[in-house]
Structure 1
Amino acid sequence: MIKIKNWVSPKTIEEAYQIANEKINNRILGGGAFLRLAHDLTIDTAVDLSLLELDEICETEQHFEIGAMTTLRQLETNKSLNDAFENIFRKSLENIVGVQLRNIATIGGTVFAKYGFSDLITALMVLETSLVFYKKGEIALSEYLKTPRAHKRDAKDILIKIKIMKQPIKCSFQMLRNSSSDFAIINAAVSKVDGRYKIVVGARPGVSNFALEAMSIINDKKEVNPENIEGQELILSAVSDNLIFGTNRFGSQSYRQAMSKVLVKRAIREVNHED
């Protein structure tokens, strides 16, 4: 059960930061869609960020800047964002539960919590994505995901926005789930910029991570195509052999390993526009 004793909606980020850090059990709320994942949670003061105008998608000459309170539905339906990144946001979000939840859940809440089941984080990882915090400043998403979870006595920083660099890119998102609204059993994304690839696998069930060995192999190749079967098998074996997979109620370790190869192969072929 979740208990919230007080609820405040600050009008400035500084005010939100001060209130969040007054007591250990004060909490900053994103969309709040996944509070149900917590057990026996008591919040002294819930800090609601909805009045801080952090729910906009802004396009500059070099970046898309996405406010932390932007909902998944906004990302899914934003034409400029999807046109720039080959619909990777629509593809990674359209099967998450239903429109009602996607109108509540936010990009900031998803990324800040480092959800291991997140399709969105996998998609963001193959783009040039960074996070902007109120106190810590800007940090690459990949670096943030490596940082240990904050202790409850640590100062609570506020994620303000997510920045994604605009660049000529080919990208693909693939996932496997039991039903269209279920959590993913495994997901994968691949991007290609100037002939160099990023390969990310998530829902392993751990948080999304680069398949570094596979990336090293594929980026040493001049070309990846259907005829290069030996090279592709080497790449796909590196995906399954060099990432850590686990078992939960959605799928076994061995199944996830096998399916990761299938999804990455599909994604590589898609970024190379192969049937």
Structure 2
Amino acid sequence: MLRFEKYVRPETPREAYELLQENRLATVIGGMMWLRLADRTVPLGIDLSRCGLDTIEETDDAWRIGAMVTLGQLERHERFAASTCGIFTEAVRDVVGTQFRNLATVGGSVWARMGFSDVVTAFLALDAEVELEGAGVMPIIPFTERGARNDLLTHVIVRKHRYQAAFASVRNAATDFSSLNAAAACWQGSWHVTVGARPKKATLLTGGERIPLRRDFSPAELDAVCELAEGLDYGSDLRGTAEWRRQVAPALIRRAVAAAAAKPCAEKEA
């Protein structure tokens, strides 16, 4: 059973951040879908539910997704879905069940950087950043790779582009965790392809500082990306072996790229 010696509900992200700095053993509380399974005593629990981080805000050039936005909100937000070609609807619709998605938060998924996360795989394929109380704004890729110790995640920012994007996964059952997943998004003239649930955390394969894959790629160029996917570091668990993942990844990438390429480009102003 999870126990808290002290439980607080700050009114602002800054107040929550200051409490976290004063109490390095404190635990930040989001949707509690995984945290509640722990069997330990926490000196201080910091509940973010009153910090105003539960909305999806649209600006002229971006979407700001609060850390306390649930996966259900992400799944059902029509304007955001139109702006991102529905990639998050595809990514979260099979996550456990409706009740779970209505409680699990975007912040919890992104901060934890769990290997099986479908949400992180989708975010990595887009032009996304994380906003931290403390460290400020940083690209999501280095955050996913290294984390941000003792900072407080407040928002995920998705920059607007004329995306073509899609998500694909393989699961042993409809509501099980992904055995392997992939996302593909084309923006600013190049494809950004990610692979996750390896079962290690998701990684960007093409785009950004990785190898380029131009919008109008040749079959040989896509073959090269698939060969690169075969060389990723895979592991084995109850949902699949490393060798199985190595064999399936290229096909899953091709599926995601083909699905994204078949969609019309999203309007920058959704």
Global fold match (TM > 0.5): yes
* Alignment partner, residue 270 of structure 1: 259
| Larger RCO: 1 or 2 (CA < 8 Å, sep 6+) | 2
* AA of the residue aligned to 2:84: F
How far the C-alpha of 1:232 sits from its partner, in A, is: 3.4
How far the C-alpha of 1:239 sits from its partner, in A, is: 1.3
2:226 to 226, 229, 236: 236
Q: 1:260 to 1:189 in 2, by over 3 A?
A: same
* Alignment partner, residue 165 of structure 1: 159
Q: 1:8 to 1:36 in 2, by over 3 A?
A: closer
Q: 1:37 to 1:202 in 2, by over 3 A?
A: farther
* Alignment partner, residue 268 of structure 2: none
Whether 1:207 and 2:201 are equivalent positions in the alignment is yes
* AA of the residue aligned to 1:63: A
**Can you list the C-alpha shifts for 1:195-251, whole angstroms capped at 9, x where unaligned?**
3111100000111101249x63633x8534xxx3x443333112112x111111111
Contact 2:170–2:179, Cα closer than 8 Å, also in 1: yes
* AA of the residue aligned to 2:15: E
* Alignment partner, residue 193 of structure 1: 187
Distance 2:48 2:98 in 1: 22
* AA of the residue aligned to 1:108: G
TM-score (norm 2): 0.91
Contact 1:171–1:191, Cα closer than 8 Å, also in 2: yes
- Structure 1 unaligned regions, length at least 5: 151-155
* Alignment partner, residue 33 of structure 1: 33
- Structure 2 unaligned regions, length at least 5: 264-270
SS class of match (2:213): helix
Aligned counterparts, 1:106-255, within 5 A: 106-147=105-146, 150=149, 156-212=150-206, 216=211, 218-219=213-214, 222-224=216-218, 228=219, 230-241=220-231, 243-255=232-244
Number of aligned residues: 261
Distance 2:168 2:75 in 1: 15
TM-score (norm 1): 0.89
**Can you list the C-alpha shifts for 1:233-271, whole angstroms capped at 9, x where unaligned?**
333112112x11111111100111111111101112122
Give the alignment's Cα RMSD to 1 decimal.
1.9
Contact 2:167–2:184, Cα closer than 8 Å, also in 1: yes
* Alignment partner, residue 99 of structure 1: 98
Moved more, 129-138 or 193-202: 193-202
Distance 1:158 1:6 in 2: 19
SS class of match (1:191): strand
- Structure 1 runs (4+) deviating above 6 angstroms are none
**Can you list the C-alpha shifts for 1:56-103, whole angstroms capped at 9, x where unaligned?**
001111000111110000000000010111110100000000111111
Instruction: State the identity as a percent.
Output: 30
Distance 1:37 1:88 in 2: 29
SS class of match (1:55): coil
Contact 1:25–1:42, Cα closer than 8 Å, also in 2: no
Contact 2:2–2:37, Cα closer than 8 Å, also in 1: no
